[in-house]
């Protein structure tokens, strides 16, 4: 018997382990999946004899799902149908050369979100077709390809002067012997089919060479840009030496695609794994990373740039001071840019660095990424955590700090031109972008990103504490959270001894020192002797339950508003004329925003609640301290300086989403609802029949859903499939709430008449006034009030498009190409 | 044939009609089996739900789980076949009787099949009937499930029979070299222990802190799928059972099973008599070398020989006390990781004393359960009891020595165990000192109890060890349960609850010492000998 009972003891840990496993939830937020690329074999310039008819060929690159999407069908267009027209026969497209001249031939997906183009020279008597023998991306938005003045030598410890090899082809070929160099700019010389640079004085200089056929009118000019002190980047290591390996940074000029493994090397499936051969799929595409073919491994650990977060890390500091299980305050970036960078439209795909290395497929057929144990990108740092950041089991609520990024722009007066980047190829579920980090994290003054395509990130561009940032003529698409996130690192703390004007819970006005107002009570259960702030907060948490007696809602709200004013010393973030002191100013011009998870642009401010200030209310702190490992919060937060965003030109937001698909878990992480929900919830199903999810704790989506029509930003569409009316919103701007947010938006864009004024999403008032029908709902509501107590009582705000403006439309990347041409 | 079959059932203690003396023991055995099945079913259903969220994963998982269960039943089957075909008592009853040995083999084969079917049914039915509502063709699967244990048993018995002959030869060979046997058994169990730790650590790693998701990566799911579909020949049976379109697989499985069974039966028919005679011939050929030793020393030596040379004890107590520190550490460590990093962590942070007491519970259970195996003292004595009664040596002294030697061994293993636990920071110093003290008292009390039970048993009945067995589980459970209640309701600190525990175990100790002393002389003198 005793011997036989041993198996039970040995099986026991397996059973306990199973009991300890969370429910594995994967949220799905499906969007239209774009192609990753379009490939064709046309050079930058191609000649076509007049009256000829040529079959146009291109190959879409993308997942099976993307290829099957009708919105990704390839369509050919011409910029000038006077010279050449496009005809379609069955599934094939033809170029019909009509009259002598030049036209841009573009192939794009039907949604117009990805394209490739070349210049077609239609000739009658003859033509000169000039192409560089360098790589060209054909996905440029800028009309011009740029070359750096130097190439690295093999050891990257010196450089050689750049030479551009040219192919100058004359059609018909029998005229080749009459080809002459007609003219050239002063900064180049030409010989042996090679261009060399000379006398480069300006940061960027235009250059050209004009060839002609002797005794004819036939001429052709090859134009390009020369970047003074620029280094051409032909592979990933060149990129590292321009960026992460350089102390002060070098000017980089990209001359190749830096793609993911699967898009770079020939591969085959061996068993359950993909085996890669040392054989490029395309000459113009190298790997983003250094792949070990023997081990079949890719490791970025020694190559990435790590830096201490520039955001408020006071919580991390205080946590690490008292806990053995430390939280890192280091942020990781794939590319650390400190000088200008010219992307030339070549793709930078950080997929293998940023995307979880493991994937699976749910029973619904949705691809789910799974973080491998060695993955570097694992989500943002915490700004503040109620519970243990390192242990999901005891983490109740977490507000996020700075995230990792694929590109970190660090310095002043830096321009990024024609960047075509994506953090990851994520399929069609925006939630797959949860841990891929920011696309471009901007930190510095006078930084410009122009003519760029920034795709597939948690936040595509993050601009913090950067003045005069310009985002110009670009496309931002597919963000898990925001396409552009704007905020500041600087904040002001409360003067703890200053006298403040507040109200007590009975509406009585008081003028007392801050530290007296926010004093901690000795016992949170001793309701008779709570400090003033403690009493207000406890009455707020228990409002409607009669635990602490009856108080009026007006008095609660008035007291909370006054308390938030104390927590947000506004006088420190405004000037003498009471104008906000902006620490971040952003100009957005001629830029398209397409498909965000929550909103296109966020104007953020730090969460700044009483709990974060002084661990109030005492009772809740006592309860939390007894439940989970908690840091005793002491003045973690403060009030952020505001930011200003100016929208101008043809800036448009193609960002309609069904309200039900909004998933705000990326704004604030909470596990409280998990404790109550489903069979895996630790607290069982005592809340049976009560809706328990992130909306119950952080009701941003719920309020937006209920109020969108009243706000005038809801757009109802009858869904024919389900015969139900679905509510869509397009919210170009969201202001973070919690702490005081004095940020502002100046809208001079084409759609300004359709953009609503800021509308409040007030989770504090909502949680106080929400009708409850059961005791379960009431308890849940009390818990939901803990969120504003922690993050602050100021409302979130949204600005939405009215009247369904731009509903059903998608951005056309050709507009950006044309804008760039017009600028020239 | 029927008589032979009846004999087989009678030889199985489980089928002895429970009387008022051993009903509790019988009940505990049932509870044990039910407990195992419940845990197994819980494991299956919990994991099934998680696998079900992934494309095609639940089928592969179900197949793999059934295969693992089939392998466990194969291991059990191997032990059963050894016991049924090469049972000394049985041999002594039949080998010299004029019974056609083929009849003996067939009766044993039928018995084996019945036992295997029942066992396979008990451990497979809950899983299969959990699957039934989740798949297509439920009625058919529900009906076919009845036959699943039969088909599984065919192959298991076939394989068990095939390997039983070499096992017997090795076993009997090793018996001649006790030191080698001890080393090999210890090595074998260490290897099993290593495998256990490997599987356990992997499992716990996967389960804790949501890293379980890694298990569900496409690569791992493909690996599980490959394992499930390529673990021949069991995969043929399991796959075809869960997907009737794989009828050919079932036929292949059936053919393989029947061939294995035919080979097994042929081998046993060829070697049955030879192997069993080997046992007796060898026994008769034993030559003893006698050394004159002082009586005390001789008795102590005899006790050590009984512990380390006697086969049953070698396989249970001796090897287990060697592994006790490792096993206890592995299990407590795994449980701690699961409790601290997973879904249950919130309970531990709210009630931190749960963890201490859970650790204490496991440590006490391991030491008491393992040490209790040593006290089958008189069972192993067999005919020497008669000798002991003849020789001029104090029976009391004999009893003390008999008690002390396994106790010292257990004490040593328990001290090592607690040192391992405290040095790896699994338990604190307070739990170390108090847990060790509690453990020592419990072990001693249980051994005394067990000794008394054996002194009171007759030669015709198995010793009624129900009380000691029951208490080996009950005392640790009571101690830890009371601790948790005191800590949660009265807010007692660990040290006070431990002091309270000491009072409980001292009461137990007092009782068992009184119980031992009472009529001790009569019990010792009345101890029946085996002739």
Residues A129 and A170 in one domain: yes
Does residue A12 belong to any structural domain of this protein?
no
Q: Which residues of B touch A7 (CB under 8 A)?
A: 36
Q: List % helix, strand, coil for chain A (3-state, nearest 5).
A: 20, 40, 40
Does A19 sit within 8 Å of B343, measured CB to CB? yes
Lowest mean per-residue pLDDT among A225-229, A720-724, B219-223, B392-396: B392-396
* pLDDT of A581 above 90: yes
Residue A703 has pLDDT above 70, yes or no: yes
Instruction: Classify residue A430: in a domain, yes or no.
Output: yes
At CA A56, angle to CA A52 and CA A57, rounded to 5? Answer: 150
Are residue A637 and residue A658 in the same domain, yes or no? Answer: yes
pLDDT at A484 over 50: yes
Could you read off the pLDDT of B490-521 as tens digits, one per residue?
878 878 888 888 888 888 888 878 877 776 66
Most confident of B91-100, B128-137, B433-442: B433-442
Is A742 in a helix, a strand, or coil? coil
Shared-domain flag, residues A414 and A530: no
Is A359 in the B-facing interface, judged by CB distances under 8 Å?
Answer: yes
Residue A358 clears pLDDT 80, i.e. is over it: yes
Name which residue leads in pLDDT, B326 or A466.
Answer: A466
Tokens of A406: 């694929």
Contacts of B425 (CB under 8 A, 6+ apart): none
Per-residue confidence band for B302, with pLDDT thresholds at 50, 70 and 90: low
User: Per-residue pLDDT averaged across A796-813, rounded?
Assistant: 94
Q: Could you give the C-alpha distances from A134 to A48, A330, B380, in angstroms and in order?
A: 22, 39, 89
Q: Which residues of A touch B213 (CB under 8 A)?
A: 24, 358, 360, 370-371
Following DSSP, what letter does each residue of B225-287 receive, concatenated? HHHHHHSTTHHHHHHHHH-TT-HHHHHHHHHHHHHHHHHHHHHHHHHHHHHHHHHHHHHHH--
Q: How far is CA A742 from the centre of its chain?
A: 23
Position B5 pLDDT exceeds 90: no
Chain-centroid distance, C-alpha B320: 11
Chain B residues lying within 8 Å of A372, measured CB to CB: 214, 217
Yes or no, beta carbons of A393 and B334 under 8 Å apart: no
For range B394-414, the mean pLDDT: 80
Which DSSP string do the residues of A626-652 spell out, in sequence order?
Answer: HHS------S---EEPPEEEEEEET-E
- Cβ distance A19 to B342 less than 8 Å, yes or no, reads yes
Task: Look at residue A675 and give its three-state secondary structure.
Answer: helix
- Is A233 within 8 Å of A254 (Cβ atoms)? yes
Q: Is A714 left (phi over 0), alpha (psi -120 to 50) or beta?
A: beta
- Locate tokens 């619904």: which residue? A364
Helix (H) or strand (E) holding B507: helix B494-517
Written as six digits, the tokens of A268 are: 């085959």
Kindly state whether residues A765 and A815 are assigned to the same domain.
yes
Give chain B positions within 8 Å (CB) of A20.
207-208, 338-339, 341-345
Between chains, do B218 and A20 touch, taking CB under 8 Å as contact? no
Handedness of CA A534, A529, A538, A673 (dihedral sign): positive
- For residue A751, what pLDDT is reported? 94
User: Quick check: A376 pLDDT over 90?
Assistant: yes
Q: What is the pLDDT of residues A142-165, one digit of tens each?
A: 989 999 999 999 999 999 999 999
Tokens representing B97? 């009787």
Note whether residue A103 is domain-resident.
yes
Percentages helix, strand, coil for chain B (3-state, rounded to 5) are 85, 0, 15
pLDDT per position as a tens digit, A237-284: 999 999 999 999 999 999 999 999 999 999 998 877 889 999 999 999
Ranking A664-673, A720-729, B81-90, B306-315 by mean pLDDT, the lowest is B306-315
Question: How many domains would you assign to chain A?
Answer: 3
- CA distance to A128, A172, A215, B299, per residue, from A179 (Å): 9, 12, 10, 116
Which chain A residues are closer than 8 Å to B212 by Cβ? 21, 24
Question: Is A119 in the same domain as A101?
Answer: yes
Token readout for A434 is 């949860």
* Cβ neighbours of A627 in B, within 8 Å: 346, 349-350
- In chain A, which residue's Cα lies nearest the Cα of B335? A13
Sign for the pseudo-dihedral over CA of A258, A261, A265, A266:
negative
pLDDT value, residue A549:
75
Task: With respect to residue A686, please indicate whether it lies within any of the assigned structural domains.
Answer: no
Distance from CA of A322 to the nearest CA of B (A): 17
Nearest to A54 by CA among A42, A62, A65: A42
Complete DSSP assignment for B171-188: HHHHHT-HHHHHHHHHHH
Give SS3 for A269: strand
Nearest-neighbour CA in chain A from B285: distance (Å): 33
Q: Which two tokens mark B353?
A: 């004393």
Contact B350 A627 (CB under 8 A): yes
* Residue closest to A97 by CA, chosen among A38, A150, A55: A55
Residue B347: the pLDDT is 73
CB atoms < 10 A from the CB of A474, how many? 26
Is A558:A507 a contact under the CB 8 Å cutoff? yes
Are B55 and A365 a contacting pair at CB < 8 A? Answer: yes
- pLDDT at residue A679 above 50? no
CA nearest neighbour of A404 among A325, A336, A341, A502: A336
- List A residues 668-727 in contact with B (Cβ-Cβ < 8 A): 675, 680, 682
Which site among A23, A296, A393 would you substitute to test the B interface, given the most B Cβ atoms closer than 10 Å to its Cβ? Answer: A393
B464 φ/ψ sector (left φ>0, alpha ψ -120 to 50, else beta): beta
Taking the CB of residue A379, how many other CB atoms lie within 10 A of it? 17
Confidence tier at B527 by pLDDT (50, 70, 90): low
Chain-chain contact of A11 with B40 (C-beta, under 8 angstroms): yes
Question: What is the distance in angstroms between the Cα of B96 and the nearest Cα belonging to chain A?
Answer: 33
Which CATH number characterizes residue A61's domain? 2.60.40.1080
Is pLDDT at B459 greater than 60 in this prediction? no
- Identify which of A2, A22, A360 has the shortest CB distance to residue B217: A360
Q: Are residues A457 and A514 in the same domain?
A: no
Same domain, A386 and A466: yes
Residue A209's pLDDT band, with cuts at 50, 70 and 90, is very high
**Residue B192: CB partners within 8 Å, gap ≥ 6?**
none
Query: Both A45 and A136 in a single domain?
Result: yes
pLDDT at A285: 95
Do residue A115 and residue A86 come from a single domain? yes
d(CA B437, CA A627): 32
For residues B140-149, average pLDDT: 85
Contact criterion met (CB < 8 Å) for A394 and B32: no
Q: Is A324 on the interface with B (CB under 8 A)?
A: no
More confident residue, A696 or A651: A651
* Contact list, B316 vs chain A (CB under 8 Å): 3
Same domain, residue pair A613 and A736: yes
The per-residue pLDDT of chain B, averaged, comes to: 78
Nearest to B53 among A17, A24, A372 (CB): A24
Q: How far apart are the first and last CA of chain A?
A: 90
Q: Report yes or no on A589 lying in a domain.
A: yes
Strands A273-280 and A265-270: antiparallel
Query: Is residue A713 assigned to a domain?
Result: no
Q: Give one DSSP letter per residue of B22-63, joined into a string.
A: THHHHHHHHHHHHHHHHHHHHHHHHHHHHHTTBTTHHHHHHH
In sequence order, what are the beta bridge partners of A75? A108
In a domain, A2, yes or no: no
Q: Please give the pLDDT value at position B393.
A: 64
| Range of the structural domain that residue A173 is part of | 37-229
pLDDT of residue B376: 59
Highest-confidence range of A48-57, A523-532, B440-449, by mean pLDDT? A48-57
Min Cα separation B49/chain A (Å): 10
With cut-offs at 50, 70 and 90, classify the pLDDT of residue A476. Answer: very high
Contacts of A393 in chain B (CB under 8 A): 209, 340-346
pLDDT digits (tens, 9 = 90+) for A378-425: 999 999 998 888 877 778 889 999 999 999 999 999 999 999 999 999
The answer to whether the CB atoms of A9 and B365 lie below 8 A apart is: yes
A197 and A85 in one domain? yes
| Residue A241 within any structural domain of the chain | no
Name beta bridge partners: A219: A212
Q: With an 8 Å Cβ cutoff, are A273 and B219 in contact?
A: yes
pLDDT classification of A682: cutoffs 50, 70, 90: very low
Residue range B116-123: average pLDDT?
90
Q: For chain A, what percent of residues have pLDDT higher than 70?
A: 96
Residue B35: list chain A partners with CB under 8 A.
8
Task: Say yes or no: A542 and A629 in one domain.
Answer: no
């Amino acid at each position: 018997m005793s011997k036989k009972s041993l198996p039970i003891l040995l099986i026991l840990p397996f059973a306990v382990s199973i009991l300890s496993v969370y429910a594995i939830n994967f949220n799905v937020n499906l969007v239209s999946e774009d192609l990753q690329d379009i490939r064709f074999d046309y050079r930058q310039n191609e000649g076509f004899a007049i009256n000829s008819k040529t079959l146009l060929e291109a190959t879409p690159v993308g997942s099976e799902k993307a290829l099957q999407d009708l919105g990704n069908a390839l369509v050919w267009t011409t910029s000038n149908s006077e010279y050449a027209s496009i005809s379609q026969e069955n599934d094939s497209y033809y170029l019909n050369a009509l009259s002598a001249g030049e036209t841009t031939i573009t192939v794009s997906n039907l949604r117009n979100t990805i394209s490739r183009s070349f210049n077609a020279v239609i000739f009658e008597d003859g033509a000169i077709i000039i192409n560089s023998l360098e790589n060209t991306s054909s996905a440029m938005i800028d009309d011009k390809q740029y070359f750096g003045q130097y190439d690295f030598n093999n050891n990257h410890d010196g450089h050689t002067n750049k030479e551009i090899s040219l192919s100058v082809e004359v059609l018909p070929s029998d005229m080749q012997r009459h080809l002459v160099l007609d003219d050239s700019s002063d900064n180049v010389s030409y010989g042996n089919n090679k261009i060399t640079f000379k006398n480069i004085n300006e940061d960027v200089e235009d250059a050209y060479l004009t060839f002609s056929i002797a005794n004819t009118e036939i001429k052709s000019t090859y134009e390009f840009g020369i970047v003074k002190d620029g280094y051409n980047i032909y592979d990933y290591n060149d990129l590292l030496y321009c960026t992460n390996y350089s102390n002060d940074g070098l000017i980089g000029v990209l001359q190749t695609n830096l793609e993911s493994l699967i898009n770079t090397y020939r591969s085959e499936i061996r068993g359950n794994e993909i085996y890669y051969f040392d054989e490029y799929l395309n000459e113009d595409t190298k790997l983003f990373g250094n792949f070990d073919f023997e081990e079949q491994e890719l490791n970025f650990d020694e190559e990435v740039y790590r830096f201490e977060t520039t955001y408020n890390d006071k919580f991390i500091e205080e946590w690490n001071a008292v806990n053995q299980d430390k939280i890192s305050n280091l942020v990781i970036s794939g590319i650390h840019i400190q000088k200008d960078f010219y992307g030339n439209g070549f793709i930078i795909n950080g997929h293998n660095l940023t995307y979880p290395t493991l994937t699976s497929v749910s029973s619904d057929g949705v691809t789910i990424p799974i973080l491998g144990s060695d993955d570097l990108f694992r989500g943002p740092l915490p700004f503040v955590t109620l519970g243990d950041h390192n242990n999901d089991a005891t983490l109740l609520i977490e507000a996020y700090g700075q995230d990792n990024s694929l590109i970190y722009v660090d310095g002043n007066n830096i321009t990024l031109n024609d960047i075509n980047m994506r953090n990851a190829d994520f399929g069609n579920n925006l939630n797959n972008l949860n841990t891929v980090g920011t696309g471009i994290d901007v930190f510095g003054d006078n930084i410009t990103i122009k003519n760029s395509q920034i795709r597939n990130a948690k936040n595509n561009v993050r601009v913090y504490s950067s003045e005069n940032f310009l985002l110009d003529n670009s496309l931002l698409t597919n963000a898990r959270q925001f396409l552009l996130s704007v905020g500041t690192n600087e904040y002001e703390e409360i003067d703890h001894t200053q006298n403040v004007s507040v109200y007590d819970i009975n509406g009585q006005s008081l003028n007392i020192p801050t530290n007296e107002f926010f004093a901690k009570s000795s016992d949170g259960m001793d309701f008779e002797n709570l400090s003033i702030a403690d009493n207000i907060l406890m009455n707020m948490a228990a409002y409607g339950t009669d635990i602490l007696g009856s108080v009026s809602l007006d008095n609660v709200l008035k007291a909370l508003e006054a308390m938030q004013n104390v927590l947000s010393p506004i006088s420190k973030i405004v000037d003498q004329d009471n104008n906000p002191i902006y620490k971040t100013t952003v100009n957005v011009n001629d830029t398209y925003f397409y498909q965000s998870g929550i909103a296109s642009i966020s104007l953020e401010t730090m969460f700044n609640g009483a709990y974060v200030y002084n661990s109030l209310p005492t009772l809740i702190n006592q309860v939390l301290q007894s439940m989970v490992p908690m840091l005793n919060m002491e003045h973690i937060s403060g009030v952020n300086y505001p930011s200003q965003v100016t929208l101008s030109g043809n800036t448009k937001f193609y960002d309609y989403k069904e309200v039900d698909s909004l998933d705000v878990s990326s704004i604030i992480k909470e596990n409280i609802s998990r404790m109550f929900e489903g069979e895996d919830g630790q607290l069982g199903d005592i809340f049976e029949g009560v809706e328990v999810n992130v909306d119950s704790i952080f009701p941003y989506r719920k309020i937006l859903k209920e109020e969108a029509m009243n706000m005038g930003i809801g757009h109802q569409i009858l869904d024919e499939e389900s015969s139900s009316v679905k509510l869509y919103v397009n919210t170009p701007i969201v202001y973070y709430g919690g702490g005081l947010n004095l940020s502002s938006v100046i809208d001079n864009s084409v759609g300004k008449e359709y953009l609503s004024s800021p509308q409040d999403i007030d989770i504090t008032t909502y949680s106080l006034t929400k009708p409850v029908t059961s005791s379960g709902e009431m308890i849940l509501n009390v818990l939901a009030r803990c969120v504003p107590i922690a993050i602050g009582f100021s409302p979130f705000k949204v600005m939405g498009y009215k009247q369904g403006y731009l509903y059903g439309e998608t951005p056309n990347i050709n507009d950006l190409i044309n804008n760039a041409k017009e600028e020239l | 044939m029927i008589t032979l079959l009846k004999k087989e059932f009678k030889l199985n203690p489980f089928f002895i009609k429970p009387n008022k003396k051993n009903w509790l023991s019988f009940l505990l055995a049932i509870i044990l089996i039910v407990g195992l099945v419940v845990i197994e079913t819980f494991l299956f259903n919990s994991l099934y739900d998680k696998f079900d969220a992934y494309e095609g994963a639940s089928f592969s998982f179900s197949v793999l789980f059934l295969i693992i269960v089939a392998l466990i039943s194969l291991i059990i089957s191997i032990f059963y076949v050894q016991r049924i075909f090469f049972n000394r008592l049985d041999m002594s009853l039949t080998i010299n009787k004029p019974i056609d040995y083929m009849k003996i083999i067939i009766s044993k084969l039928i018995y084996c099949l019945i036992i295997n079917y029942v066992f396979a049914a008990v451990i497979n039915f809950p899983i299969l009937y959990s699957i039934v509502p989740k798949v297509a063709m439920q009625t058919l699967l529900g009906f076919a499930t009845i036959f699943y244990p039969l088909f599984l048993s065919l192959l298991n018995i076939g394989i068990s029979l095939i390997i039983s002959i070499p096992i017997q030869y090795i076993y009997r060979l090793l018996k001649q070299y006790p030191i080698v046997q001890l080393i090999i058994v210890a090595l074998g169990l260490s290897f099993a222990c290593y495998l256990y730790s490997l599987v356990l650590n992997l499992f716990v790693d996967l389960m804790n802190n949501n890293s379980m998701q890694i298990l569900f990566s496409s690569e791992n799911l493909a690996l599980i799928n490959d394992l499930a579909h390529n673990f021949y020949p069991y995969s043929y049976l399991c796959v075809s059972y869960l997907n009737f379109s794989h009828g050919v697989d079932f036929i292949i499985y059936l053919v393989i099973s029947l061939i294995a069974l035919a080979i097994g039966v042929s081998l046993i028919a060829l070697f049955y008599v030879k192997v069993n005679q080997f046992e007796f011939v060898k026994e008769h050929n034993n030559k003893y070398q006698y050394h004159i030793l002082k009586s005390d020393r001789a008795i102590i030596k005899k006790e050590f020989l009984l512990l380390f040379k006697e086969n049953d004890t070698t396989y249970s107590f001796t090897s287990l006390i060697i592994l006790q520190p490792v096993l206890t550490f592995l299990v407590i460590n795994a449980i701690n990781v699961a409790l601290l990093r997973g879904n249950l962590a919130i309970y531990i942070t709210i009630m931190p004393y749960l963890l201490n007491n859970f650790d204490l519970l496991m440590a006490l259970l391991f030491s008491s359960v393992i040490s209790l195996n040593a006290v089958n003292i008189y069972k192993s004595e067999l005919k020497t009891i008669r000798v002991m009664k003849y020789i001029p040596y104090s029976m009391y002294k004999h009893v003390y020595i008999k008690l002390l030697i396994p106790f010292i061994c257990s004490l040593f293993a328990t001290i090592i165990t607690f040192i391992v636990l405290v040095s790896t920071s699994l338990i604190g110093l307070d739990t170390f000192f108090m847990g060790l003290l509690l453990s020592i008292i419990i072990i001693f009390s249980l051994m005394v109890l067990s000794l008394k039970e054996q002194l009171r048993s007759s030669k015709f009945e198995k010793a009624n060890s129900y009380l000691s067995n029951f208490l080996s589980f009950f005392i640790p459970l009571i101690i830890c349960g009371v601790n948790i209640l005191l800590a949660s309701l009265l807010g007692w600190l660990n040290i006070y609850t431990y002091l309270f525990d000491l009072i409980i175990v001292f009461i137990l100790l007092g009782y068992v010492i009184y119980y031992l002393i009472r009529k001790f002389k009569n019990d010792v003198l009345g101890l029946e000998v085996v002739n």
